[in-house]
């Protein structure tokens, strides 16, 4: 067994989570606000009304402040692959590195180039070219997200590659299979549109503040209408892509689905848990009830997971200990095969070193029969294949509850806007004011579901996280963890202060 400092693994995970969660405060706002700025400027170019230009420039200024800090945290994330996850970078760098490189030299350069025109090109380039630049920033920002989510989708569902036993690395075999990985497509569309939704909530928050303070009322009302239409349609699309993402999880990562539903005993006609409190003492294989209390919707989980009411949805126990009736292999047998594969791989390497061709070929043939289970060879016991149940379960249910609330909020804002009584609807404005905080909570919950639910794997089924880290002493990561915590907190405070200053100036004075 590998001699790994587990505290190093946990600190490396904590540092990556810290950086990713800070990064994800800024990114969804960039994804959505870029398109909203394009909408506002399109209306300005279409109408020639200077008020729309002032509205565009106001939201564009907030977009620019946010964009800068999003870039800073994103660059640190990429460096962490090298510093804390060098084994990961070595083993899968040929595949994982490609989309990250494309994101940097293609999508990011596209958005950065047009970003300069968008910001500094007012009155220097034609109206139409400026508008084109704004749209290109929106397209470029979301193209960046495509490549990052192709990389993340590959971690959840590794496709399009082969393992090279001579170098002990995975090598890309089919680039298009990696790009059009169904997990990556559903992940991109779900994540990007949730960014649209979050940006719409951000606009609601600031516009509601203006309406409560009775300042810039016309600008706030116009912004609310555009944000509510985009937000409502995005909410519907987020729900649709969320369903598709859950289906892909059920097919490719059944353990993650079991975790987010707190499902231990698989069943046909499986109900979905609409709400419930987990029994924290419950362990895989014991006879305790997983829930202290729960409310279920009959049959719905089978339908969501397999598109069929009476299909079988495996639980944690089925996946860990196997279920012969349903043809599910237990983890213990996978661990045995995995250890055999690792042993054969070591013998293959030794035989090549000794230039013993015959022995090398025999070892390689044996290795290939079990190589799909190689990752399991690094696990000690079957229960090691189970992620935290409570964290993905609660994060998923918070995300879904908030995702159900947001379209109702957008409908309310549209209803009172159409009625012409939005400024008199005093109860609604404070809800709009805090809505972006709720949106941020939903955003972070989504990533917690995706990444905590993937544990113990860095690459699903192939590479556990404890094998993916750099062989460092934990204190090295601890030092940079607290350094980044301080730095990111300062950046966040700086962003909020600059934004608040800009918001207090408002659109008219800001033009």
Partner 1 sequence: MSALLLILYVFLIIVSYKGSIFILKKTDLL
Tell me the C-alpha distance between 392 and 261, whole Å. Answer: 9
The contacts of residue 307 (CB under 8 Å, 6+ apart) are 247
Q: Can you tell me the distance from the alpha carbon of 413 to that of 418, in angstroms, rounded to the nearest whole number? A: 9
Report in angstroms the alpha-carbon separations of 312 from 261, 396, 430, 496.
Answer: 14, 21, 45, 49
Among 77, 414, 491, 499, binds partner 1 (CB under 8 A): 414
Q: Does 218 bind partner 1 (CB under 8 A)?
A: yes
Q: Between the CA of residue 219 and those of 51, 168, 224, 508, what are the distances in Å?
A: 8, 59, 9, 9
Locate 304 and state its tokens.
Answer: 């969501």
Among 154, 210, 230, 373, binds partner 1 (CB under 8 A): 230
Helix boundaries (H) for 103-181? 109-120, 127-156, 175-179
Residues 64, 111: contact at Cβ < 8 Å? no
Among 11, 22, 24, 39, binds partner 1 (CB under 8 A): 39
| Nearest CA among 146, 156, 45, 38 for reference residue 99 | 146
Residue number, 52 or 457, with CB nearest to partner 1: 52
Applying CB under 8 A, which part among 192-200, 316-324, 362-370, 436-444 lies near partner 1?
Answer: 192-200
Report how many residues bind partner 1 under the rule CB under 8 A: 32
Nearer to partner 1, 15 or 417 (CB): 417
180 belongs to the binding site for partner 1 (CB under 8 A): yes
**Does residue number 63 form part of the binding site for partner 1 (CB under 8 A)?**
no
CA angle, 302 then 308 then 313, to 5°: 30
> Contact between 177 and partner 1 (CB under 8 A)?
no
Q: How far apart are the first and last CA of the chain?
A: 64
Nearer to partner 1, 149 or 385 (CB): 149
Rounded Cα distance between 303 and 311, Å, is 8
Q: Which stretch binds partner 1 (CB under 8 A): 87-95, 183-191, 269-277, 495-503?
A: 183-191
Q: How far apart are CA 295 and CA 32, in angstroms?
A: 34
**Distance of closest approach, residue 111 Cβ to partner 1, in angstroms:** 16
* Strand, helix or coil for residue 330: coil
CB-nearer residue toward partner 1: 245 or 347: 245
List the one residue from 116, 292, 418, 479 that touches partner 1 (CB under 8 A).
418
Q: How far is the CB of 417 from partner 1 (least distance, A)?
A: 5
Single out the segment in contact with partner 1 by CB under 8 A; choices: 121-129, 257-265, 417-425, 490-498. 417-425
Choice from 21, 110, 225, 431 touching partner 1 (CB under 8 A): 225
Kindly state whether residue 234 participates in binding partner 1, applying the rule CB under 8 A: yes
Nearer to partner 1, 142 or 347 (CB): 142
Q: Judged by CB under 8 A, does residue 216 bind partner 1?
A: no
Establish if 221 lies at the interface with partner 1 (CB under 8 A): yes
Taking CB under 8 A as the criterion, the residue among 53, 57, 222, 397 binding partner 1 is 222
**What is the closest distance, in whole angstroms, from the C-beta atom of residue 306 to partner 1 in the complex?**
14
Structure token pair of residue 460: 């699903």
Alpha-carbon distance of 412 to 406, in angstroms, equals 10
Alpha carbon distance 245, 157 (integer Å):
12
Part of the chain binding partner 1 (CB under 8 A), chosen from 232-240, 323-331, 373-381, 490-498: 232-240
Cβ neighbors of 211 (< 8 A, separation 6 or more) are: 217, 220, 221, 422, 423, 429
Smallest distance, partner 1 to C-beta of residue 495, A: 26
Task: Report the residue from 30, 54, 152, 417 that binds partner 1 according to the rule CB under 8 A.
Answer: 417
- Contact between 186 and partner 1 by CB under 8 A: the answer reads yes
Q: Each residue of 98-137: b (16+ CB within 10 Å) or e? A: bbbebbeeebbebbeebbebbbeeeeeeeeeebbebbbbb
Nearer to partner 1, 216 or 466 (CB): 216
Q: What CA–CA distance (Å, rounded) separates 267 from 251? A: 16
Establish if 412 lies at the interface with partner 1 (CB under 8 A).
Answer: no
Which CB, 203 or 449, lies closer to partner 1?
203
Binding mask 18-37 for partner 1 (x = CB under 8 A): -----------------x--
Contact 69, 491 (CB under 8 A): yes
Residue ranges binding partner 1 (CB under 8 A): 35, 39, 42-43, 46-47, 180, 182, 185-186, 189, 192-193, 196, 218, 221-222, 225-226, 228-230, 233-234, 237, 240-241, 244, 414, 417-418, 420
């Amino acid at each position: 067994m590998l001699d790994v400092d587990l505290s190093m693994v946990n600190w490396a995970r904590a540092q990556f989570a810290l950086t990713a969660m800070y990064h994800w405060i800024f990114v969804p706002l960039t994804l959505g606000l870029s398109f909203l700025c394009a909408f506002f400027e399109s209306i300005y170019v279409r109408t020639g009304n200077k008020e729309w230009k002032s509205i565009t420039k106001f939201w564009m200024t907030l977009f620019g402040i946010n964009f800068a800090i999003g870039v800073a945290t994103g660059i640190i994330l990429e460096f962490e692959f090298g510093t804390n996850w060098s084994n990961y970078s070595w083993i899968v760098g040929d595949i994982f590195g490609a989309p990250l490189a494309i994101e940097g030299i293609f999508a990011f350069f596209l958005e950065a180039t047009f970003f300069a025109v968008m910001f500094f090109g007012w009155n220097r380039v034609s109206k139409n070219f400026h508008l084109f630049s704004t749209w290109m920033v929106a397209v470029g920002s979301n193209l960046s997200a495509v490549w990052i989510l192709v990389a993340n989708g590959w971690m959840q569902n590794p496709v399009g590659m082969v393992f090279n036993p001579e170098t002990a690395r995975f090598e890309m075999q089919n680039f298009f299979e990696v790009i059009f990985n169904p997990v990556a497509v559903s992940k991109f569309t779900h994540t990007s549109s949730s960014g649209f939704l979050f940006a719409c909530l951000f606009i609601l928050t600031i516009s509601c503040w203006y309406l409560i303070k009775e300042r810039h009322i016309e600008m706030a009302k116009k912004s609310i209408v555009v944000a509510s239409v985009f937000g409502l349609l995005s909410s519907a699309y987020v729900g649709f892509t969320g369903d598709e993402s859950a289906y892909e999880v059920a097919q490719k990562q059944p353990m993650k689905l079991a975790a987010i539903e707190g499902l231990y005993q698989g069943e046909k006609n499986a109900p979905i848990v609409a709400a419930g409190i987990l029994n924290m003492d419950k362990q895989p294989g014991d006879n305790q009830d997983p829930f202290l209390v729960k409310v279920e919707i009959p049959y719905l989980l089978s339908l969501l997971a397999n598109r069929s009411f009476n299909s079988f949805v495996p639980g944690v126990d089925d996946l860990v200990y196997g279920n012969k009736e349903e043809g599910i292999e237990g983890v213990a047998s996978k661990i045995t095969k995995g250890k055999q594969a690792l042993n054969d791989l070591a013998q293959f390497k030794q035989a090549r070193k000794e230039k013993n061709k015959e022995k090398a070929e025999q070892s390689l043939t044996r290795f290939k029969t079990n190589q799909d289970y190689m990752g399991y060879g690094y696990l000690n016991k079957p229960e090691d294949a189970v992620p935290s149940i409570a964290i993905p379960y609660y994060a998923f249910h918070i995300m879904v509850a908030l995702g159900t609330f947001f379209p109702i909020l957008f409908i309310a804002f549209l209803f009172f806007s159409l009625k012409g009584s939005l400024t008199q609807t005093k109860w609604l404005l404070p809800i709009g004011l805090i809505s972006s905080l709720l949106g941020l909570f939903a955003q972070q919950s989504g990533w917690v579901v995706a990444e905590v639910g993937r544990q113990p794997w860095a690459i699903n089924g192939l590479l556990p996280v404890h094998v993916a880290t750099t062989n460092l002493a934990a204190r090295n990561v601890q030092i940079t963890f607290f350094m980044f915590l301080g730095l990111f907190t300062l950046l966040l405070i700086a962003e909020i202060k600059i934004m608040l200053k800009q918001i207090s100036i408002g659109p008219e004075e800001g033009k």
